[in-house]
Amino acid sequence: MRKFMDEDFLLSGDTAKELFGKVKDLPIIDYHCHVPPREIASDKRYSNIAELWLGGDHYKWRAVRSTGIPEKYVTGDASDYEKFRAYASVMPKLIGNPLYHWTHLELRRYFGCELILSPETCDEIWELTTKLLATDDFTVKNIIRRSNVEVICTTDDPADNLEFHREIARDKSFKTRVYPAWRPDRGMNIEAGGYRSYIEKLSFASDVRITSIDKLFEAYRKRLDFFEAAGCRVADHGLDVYHRYVKPDLYHADEIFKEALASNGGISDPDKIALFKSEMFRFFGREYVSRGWVMQVHFGVNRNANSKMYSSIGPDTGFDTIGGTVSVTELSRLFDMMELSGGLPRTILYPINPSDNEAVAALTGCFQTSGDGKPRMLQGSAWWFSDTLDGMRRQMKSLASLSVFGDFLGMLTDSRSFTSYPRHEYFRRILCDIMGEWIDEGLYPSGRDAEKIARKICYQNAKDYFKF
C-alpha cells in the first residue's frame, strides 16, 4: 500500500517519474482563468483560509451542499470559521473527487501542512493557516510569485476599463504578466434580459452611440484596439445554449439587433438568435484573424438549472450542469462559414460533455489549413466537470488517438482562486503517467522526443501559440 500523496503521487512507473522530474519546475502559463485583477493590483491579503478558499469557489460549494449542509454554511451568513468547518466535515467523504487532491496539494505546497483535513484537524489547520496568511509570503502577488506563474489571462468584458491591468503593469517589481482576455458574450446574447442596458454601457465605454449593428461593430473595434493595447491576444466565447448557425445576413441581423435594443433583450425566436450570432461570429472572427488573436469557445453548459437558487443568489454559484451533447455538424457549419468569409482564427474548443471529446478532436482535423507551422484548431484541456483524474486521462487519450498530441496546449486553472496553481502539478503528473505507460508498453520510444513532448505540452506550446 502506498502512502497518501507521496513523492510519486499519480506516477506509476520509473518512466513516468523521470518525465515528471523534467517538467515539474517549468513556469506556468495560465491562459484562461477568472481570478480578479483588482486583487492582484491591490496585492490583497486574506484574513483566513475560508476567505481564500471558499469566497467564490462553486466547486467547493457544490460539495458542501451535496451532503445536506444548509446554505447558511455555503453562501449564507455563517462566519468564515463555520464555513470552513462545514467544508472540513465534508472532506473525508470526497474519496475519488479531485477536490480531495487539490485541497491537500494546496495545504502542502503553500502551507507546508501534511495534515489530512477533517473535523478532527479543522481547528489546527485553521490556526496554522491563519497565522501564515498574516505574513508577507501570502499577499496575492507573492502567492503568484511562489507559484512560478509567468502569464495570467483574466476574463474581461469589452466594456471594462482595465484599470487594474494598467496598475499591475506599472509595478515593475512584479514580473508575472497579467493580460485581459476578451469575453463578448453579453453583447451577443440577445436572448438574455437587460440587453439594452448592457449596450448602453458599451456605448459609454467606446464613446460610440450604438443604434445599429454597424455602430455596434464600430464600438467593438474601438474596444478591441483598447484591449490589444493592454496586451490582450485571446478571446473567449461561451456558447451556453447551443444554437444552430445559418448563413449570415447583415441586413436582417441589423433588424434583429434593433429589436433586441427596443425590447431590452429576451429574443426567443431561434432563427433570429441563430442569424444574429452567425453575423457576430463572422465579424469577430475577421477581427481576431487581422490581430493574430486566438479564439476560445466553451460550449455545452446548461446554466442555472435550479431557477429558485438562481433567483436567490445569482449565477456562477454552483447550479450549472452538463448539457446535452453538441451537434458537431452545427459546429462544423459555424467554422466553415467563418473559413469561407476569411475569419477563422486560431481556435481552441472546450466541450463540457465528455461524450463530445472524440467528435471534437476529430472536428479539429477538418480546419488545419493555416500553413504557418501552428495548428489552426485545437481541443482544449478537459473542462470543468471533466477536470478530474479520470476525465483528464480520457480526454488526453482520445485526443492523442485522433489528433496530434504533441501540439496539445496543456493545463489552465479556469479558477477564481490564487492557490489553484497546484492543479498544474496535478495535470503534469497525470500527463507524465500516461506518457510513461505508452513508453513502458513499447508504444513510443523513450528518450529526448518524449521529454520534448512533455515539456512542450506543459509550457512551450502555450507560450508559442499565444505568442507570449
Q: What is the 3-state secondary structure of 22-72? A: HHCCCCEEECCCCCCHHHHHCCCECCCHHHHHHCCCHHHHHHHHCCCCCHH
Evaluate if residue 344 carries a pLDDT over 70: yes
Relative to beta strand 28-30, strand 301-302 is unpaired
What does the pLDDT average to over 321-327? 82
Counted residue by residue, the chain has a size of 468
Q: How far, in whole angstroms, is CA 165 from its chain's centroid?
A: 19
What does the pLDDT average to over 186-194? 94
Q: What is the mean pLDDT of the chain?
A: 95
What does the pLDDT average to over 259-284? 93
What does the pLDDT average to over 370-380? 89
What does the pLDDT average to over 15-41? 97
Q: Burial level of 342, CB count in 10 A (0-12/13-18/19+)?
A: exposed
Phi-psi region of 467 (alpha: psi -120 to 50; beta: other; left: phi over 0): left
Evaluate if residue 245 carries a pLDDT over 90: no
What does the pLDDT average to over 38-60? 96
Q: From CA 181, how far away is CA 234, in angstroms rounded?
A: 5
Evaluate if residue 65 carries a pLDDT over 60: yes
Evaluate if residue 242 carries a pLDDT over 70: no
**What confidence score (pLDDT) does residue 370 get?**
76
3 state DSSP class of 182: strand
Q: Which residue has the cell 484591449?
A: 227
Q: From CA 395, how far away is CA 101, in angstroms rounded?
A: 19
3 state DSSP class of 171: coil
- The band of 373, judged by pLDDT with boundaries at 50, 70 and 90, is confident
Query: Which residues, 6 or more positions from 375, have their beta carbon under 8 angstroms from its beta carbon?
Result: 346, 364, 368, 404, 407
- Estimate the share of the chain in helix, then strand, then coil, as percent rounded to the nearest 5: 55, 10, 40
What does the pLDDT average to over 19-24? 98
Residue 346's alpha-carbon distances to 290, 328, 351, 412, in angstroms, are: 11, 18, 17, 17
* Residue type (1 letter), 248: P
Query: Which residues, 6 or more positions from 39, have their beta carbon under 8 angstroms from its beta carbon?
Result: 140, 418
Evaluate if residue 241 carries a pLDDT over 70: no
Evaluate if residue 23 carries a pLDDT over 80: yes
Digit-coded pLDDT (tens) for 391-404: 999 999 999 999 99
- The band of 247, judged by pLDDT with boundaries at 50, 70 and 90, is confident
DSSP letters, 300-351, are: -EE--S-HHHHHHH-SSSS--EE-PPP-HHHHHHHHHHHHHTT---EEEEEE
**What confidence score (pLDDT) does residue 329 get?**
86
∠ Cα 37 39 45 (to 5°): 160
* Residue in 126, 120, 121, 115 with CA at minimum distance from that of residue 53: 126
Q: From CA 210, how far away is CA 200, in angstroms rounded?
A: 8
**What confidence score (pLDDT) does residue 328 get?**
84
Relative to beta strand 321-322, strand 234-239 is unpaired
**What confidence score (pLDDT) does residue 243 get?**
62
Q: From CA 396, how far away is CA 357, in angstroms rounded?
A: 9
- The band of 153, judged by pLDDT with boundaries at 50, 70 and 90, is very high
What does the pLDDT average to over 73-77? 96
**What confidence score (pLDDT) does residue 445 get?**
97
Digit-coded pLDDT (tens) for 176-186: 999 999 999 99
Q: From CA 76, how far away is CA 439, in angstroms rounded?
A: 50
Residue 336's alpha-carbon distances to 80, 180, 249, in angstroms, are: 51, 28, 16
- Residue 30 β-bridge partners: 152
* Residue type (1 letter), 115: L
Evaluate if residue 226 carries a pLDDT over 70: yes
- Residue 346 β-bridge partners: 294
Q: From CA 39, how far away is CA 168, in angstroms rounded?
A: 10
* Residue in 153, 145, 34 with CA at minimum distance from that of residue 466: 153
Q: From CA 16, how far away is CA 88, in angstroms rounded?
A: 32
- Joined together, the cell numbers standing for residue 192 give 438574455
Digit-coded pLDDT (tens) for 352-366: 999 999 999 999 999
Residue 314 CB: number of other CB atoms within 10 A?
11
Q: How far, in whole angstroms, is CA 262 from its chain's centroid?
A: 33
Q: What are the residue ranges of helices labelled H in 190-324?
A: 195-206, 213-229, 250-263, 270-291, 307-313
**What confidence score (pLDDT) does residue 250 get?**
94
3 state DSSP class of 191: coil
What does the pLDDT average to over 417-423? 96
Relative to beta strand 234-239, strand 294-299 is parallel
**What confidence score (pLDDT) does residue 365 get?**
96
